Amino acid sequence: MYYRDHAPPHFYAEYGDYEITVEIGRGVVEGRFPRRAMAAVLDWYHLHRDELAENSELARQRQPLNRIDPLE
């Protein structure tokens, strides 16, 4: 997530040479990931959707973001 990023609110995930963006509100994914990595990112997204939305709002207001735990 970047402070000066475009709407709609989203986050980026990288895996090796792959990169995707995930829209926070609807979970729409742009880009390609290996199947197992995609499943892990989407699991993490569903666990932390509220926190991601909160951080998106903080970024819009140029406030410090809260840490979100990684998927274990």
Count of alpha carbons within 13 angstroms of residue 54, beta-carbon side: 9
CA distance 56 to 33: 23
State the pLDDT at residue 4: 76
State the pLDDT at residue 33: 97
Q: Tens digit of pLDDT for each residue in 16-66?
A: 999 999 999 999 999 999 999 999 999 999 999 999 999 999 998 999 999
